[in-house]
Amino acid sequence: MAHIYRRCRQFWISYYLDGKLIQKSLKTKDERTALSKQKRIEYELSIGDLHVASKLPLPIVLEVFCKYLKNTRTFKSYKNDVCRLRTFFGPICDGLKPYPGTMKQSRKDKYEGSHVKAELLEDITAGAINRFIAARIEEDKWKPKTANLMREVLHKLYAYAIKHHGFCSRDRRYPNPADAVERLRESAPQIRFLTLEDIDKQLQVLADYPVIHAMVAVYIYAGLRREEVLWLTGEDVDLEQRVIRVRAKTIDKEYWQPKTKKNRVVPISNALYDILSIYQPLVNCVWFFPSPTGKKWNTDNFSQDLREINKENNLEWSCLDFRHTFGSQLAQKGESLYKIAELMGNSPDICRRHYAALVPEKMRDTVEFSKTQIEQQGGSKDAEVMLRQILEKLDGNGSKLIPEIRLVR
């Protein structure tokens, strides 16, 4: 049972929930309204639909969530999710602070003053999320994809807090407050890829840089992601079997796995084989494409070196463009999107969104309905009518044979 009483001219209510005494204001001075709210609370108590919001310290939850992401996600996905959380909350815990010595650590926080401030996770409501995203779209020109990625990482945070820390939202309609944030409609992806002439020009520009030249050839002719090439070892590139194995591995106590967490094998084409067969990797080096210092390439350093070389030659192609070139050229050649997805380590749905428009048209005859086309398709029916007339002239009962003739035809 619940009991109402007055305090400071407003009605309050007290009741026991899970053995705990709950006292809260009904936010009304009207007795009739207070009684109505009392009946509703008593009803919810009777059916077990009443709950009390949890009180989880936001910095502590974020810290353990960052560790959870680091242990369960690939490094790139973990880094991206942490970056989005830092954009939303600011560096309020060690897990959201930039790594020591990185460029981001010395760079000024772009969103300083715009972070959502709160002491408890429960203070971050759906309204606060919507206001933050709306402000970023208006002030920083966020695209729908960026806004949706922010919504997704916050949804993961609440889902983790619900499962592991007993998070209970203040709004009973939305146990996960991110569910109340509308997902924006994303525009069709704009894909850039190299033509066959562009490929020749790009590889000619890199002729004086043998390592980068071979790496870009792998991006173009095998469709690997940027990190997948940087993590290739001598055992992964088998020129005898003419395959590249993209697989999880641990090197120098550092674990790496593909983005999709699935190993795959990509055949080496003739064009790629000609380039790799004359490429000479460093002796006694675990990496097939080592950096100038003989170690694994840093992803940002490699992209910067490639960008500087291309800039000197008035080229703007990136690793993502090279990967799209692989998928786009195969689609234009008429290969199935399922095969392309298997080779690139993507889902068929992603390949369909990216490359379906490039697949040669295979249903051109389906849309034809001109008189000539209809007459060609109706030729068999005309032959059947003529055969019926001939049979009727030969035999008065010839019409009885028509069903059998149709069956044979």
Q: Does domain 196-358 have CATH number 1.10.443.10?
A: yes
Question: Can you give the pLDDT of all 409 residues of the chain as single tens digits?
Answer: 788 989 888 999 887 776 778 788 888 999 899 899 888 878 777 766 556 668 899 999 999 999 999 988 888 889 999 999 999 999 999 999 886 654 454 567 788 889 999 999 999 999 999 999 999 999 999 999 999 999 999 999 999 999 999 898 888 788 899 999 999 998 888 889 999 999 999 999 999 999 999 999 999 999 999 999 999 999 999 999 999 999 999 998 888 999 888 999 999 999 999 999 999 888 889 999 999 998 999 988 999 999 999 999 999 999 999 999 999 999 988 888 899 999 999 988 888 888 888 877 655 565 566 555 555 555 555 666 666 666 666 655 544 444 554 444 4
The pairing of strands 10-17 and 3-7 is antiparallel
Q: CA-CA-CA-CA torsion for 111, 114, 120, 123, nearest 10 degrees?
A: -140
Three-state SS annotation for 141-180: CCCHHHHHHHHHHHHHHHHHHHHHHCCCCCCCCCCCHHHH
Structure tokens belonging to residue 19: 């053995």
Round to whole Å and give the CA distance between 239 and 171.
60
Given strand 10-17, what is the order of strands in its sheet?
Answer: 3-7, 10-17, 20-25
Domain with CATH 1.10.443.10 in the chain: 196-358
Q: For the whole model, what pTM was predicted?
A: 0.67
Structure tokens belonging to residue 111: 């969103």
**Contact between residue 359 and residue 336 where contact means Cβ atoms under 8 Å apart:** no
Taking residue 268's Cβ as centre, other Cβ atoms within 10 Å add up to 21
